[in-house]
Each structure stands twice: as C-alpha cells, then as structure tokens.
Amino acid sequence: MKAVSLSLSRLEGDLRMADRAKGTIQQYLASVRRFEEFLGTDLAEADQESIRRWVDHLRTQPIGPERLRCHYSALKFLYGRTLGQPEKVAFISMPRKDSPLPTVLSPAEVQRVLDAFLVAKYRVFFALIYATGLRIREASLLQTSDIDSMQQVIHVRHGKGGRDRLVPMHSKLYGLLRAYYKHERPPQPWLFTTKGGRPLCHETARRALLCASAVAGIGKVVTPHMLRHSFATNLLDHGTDLRKIQVVLGHGSIRSTTIYTQVSPSQIAAVRSPLEDLTV
C-alpha cells in the first residue's frame, strides 16, 4: 500500500504543478482511488490488460460521456505524466463530447430575475455577470482596483487558463456598482464579499439565483452561465463582431464563440430562404 499511496501523492503534486482546477484534482484522485481498489496492486505495476479491464468495467456503468472522459483523463495523466508509462494508456480513445446548445434568456426574462432578488448584493452581482459575460469565479474575485472608471473597463485578472482580459463597463453598470459600493462598503480589497470579508461564496450566490429564478416565474432554472450565454447572444443580436465577443468572453478559440450563432434569433432570421426566389 505504501507504493500506491506514493503514486497518489505524486499524482496530486503533478496535478497541482500543472495548475489544474481544485475540482479537477479532486475528481482525478477519486477516480484513481477507485481504480486502485479495482486493481488491488501497485498502480505502477499494472499492465495494459488490467487497465483495459478497468476501462471495460467503466463502460458498463450508468455514467455519461463527460464522466467517462474524466475517468479516462485521470488514467492518461497518471500513466502519461506521473508514472511515465504512456504506452499503457495509448489505446484509450475519449468519448465524443456532447455540445448542447446553450440556453439563453430574453432581456425581459433577465429583468424579471433581477427584480426577484431580495438581497441587493446578489442583484448587483448577477447584473454584473449579465452586463459583462464574466464567469461566476471571475466576478467573485473582482477587486475594487479592477474597476477602471476612466477607461470604462473592468480588469479581469483571474480568467480561465490564467488569461487576463478587459471587459466593457458602460455607464449604467458603473452607476449600479458605485451605488452598491457606497451602500455596502465591502472590506478591501474585494468588491463582493461574505460577512466574514472573504470573496463571495459561489454556492451561496448560486442558491440566491435559483431562488430568484423561481420567484420570477419564467419557467427556467437560471444559472450564472446562462446569464453569460445571454450576454453573448445579446451582443451578437446587436451586430457585435464574433472576434470581439471571443475576446470579451475570454474564449481561447473562436470555435467556442461561434455556437452563439445557433441560438441568436437575429442571426437565424437573417438566413435567406430559397423560397424567396420562387413565385408562390
């Protein structure tokens, strides 16, 4: 068991060195622990046939493609990087990743959700996300010094993949943030905090949004990412170039941004029908 524990310890260290997200590290470690129990021997000594049996076992379980990808990625990282035995997992092919179309809200629906908040802090927090397309983690880690009123932008310093960027801050959002700050006076340096002065808790904020969406009665379970999708679609509807939307959202690839053309009513309505060329 000592050798197995050492492999897990090294795996955790390598994941941290690779700057993987906390949730990813926890999922990989949990997956490898399950494999360790299935294997019953030293992870480093497992042959490819043993790994194949584990993969076959996973495929019989009632889990979706995303969860399978997580298990396979954990194996590939363990043997490809931590144990230096990539040939053992070379046979693994990733399940096809589903790409469902994002759900977006109309401006009227967003208004009803924002009006349903009982606590002003959460109303401003999610108004900010809708106004800028920030991810919930990015919004929760904003500092007061990130607000640049002179250039009318917000500096996002904790973006996905470590990429910093700027997002626009128009007058209505600035006025909202300014009024909120004067009323709340959050402890420095954060813009949104818990009562203990720490950055706003994601889960608490999500629960507040769920309650507001229920009270709003729009028939949708609203998530922070849904507001981000709605922001991007709104930009597209108003003629913003896809490349600019990519930059503002912090997408590493334009391919992630083009999905919004599939849910934008104005983009779809602009497609010319061949029936227009006929006399009917």
Residue showing tokens 């932008």: 153
State how far the Cα of 31 lies from the Cα of 13, in Å rounded to an integer.
16
Catalytic residue among 71, 112, 135, 158: 135
Answer yes or no: 158 catalytic.
no
CA distance linking residue 250 with residue 205, whole number of Å: 22
Which DSSP helix (H) or strand (E) runs through 156?
A: strand 153-156
Active-site residue identified among 72, 79, 130, 260: 260
**Cβ contact 146:191 at 8 Å:** yes
251 among known catalytic residues: yes
Question: Is the Cα dihedral 185, 205, 214, 104 positive or negative?
Answer: positive
Q: Collapse the DSSP code of 155 into the 3-class scheme (helix H, G, I; strand E, B; otherwise coil) and give the result.
A: strand
Q: Does the N-terminal peptide bond of residue 65 adopt cis geometry, omega within 30 degrees of 0?
A: no
Catalytic-role residue among 88, 112, 229, 251: 251
In the annotation, is 260 catalytic? yes
- Taking every pair of Cα atoms in the chain, the longest distance, rounded to a whole number of angstroms, is 80
- Clarify whether 225 is annotated catalytic: yes
The separation between CA 227 and the C-alpha centre of its own chain, rounded to angstroms, equals: 12
DSSP character string of 109-165 = HHHHHHHT-SSHHHHHHHHHHHHH---HHHHHT-BGGGEETTTTEEEE-S-GGG--E
Asked if residues 173 and 125 have their Cβ atoms less than 8 Å apart, the reply is no
What is the C-alpha to C-alpha distance for residues 158 and 165, in angstroms, rounded to an integer? 9
Catalytic residue among 71, 112, 123, 228: 228
Residue 160 annotated among the catalytic residues of the structure: yes
- The secondary structure of 189-205, three-state, reads CECCECCCCCECCHHHH
Q: Which of 225, 243, 244, 255 is catalytic?
A: 225
How many Å apart are CA 88 and CA 78, to the nearest integer? Answer: 10
Is 228 catalytic? The answer is yes
Catalytic residue (choose from 20, 67, 155, 160): 160
Catalogue the active-site residues: 135, 160, 225, 228, 251, 260
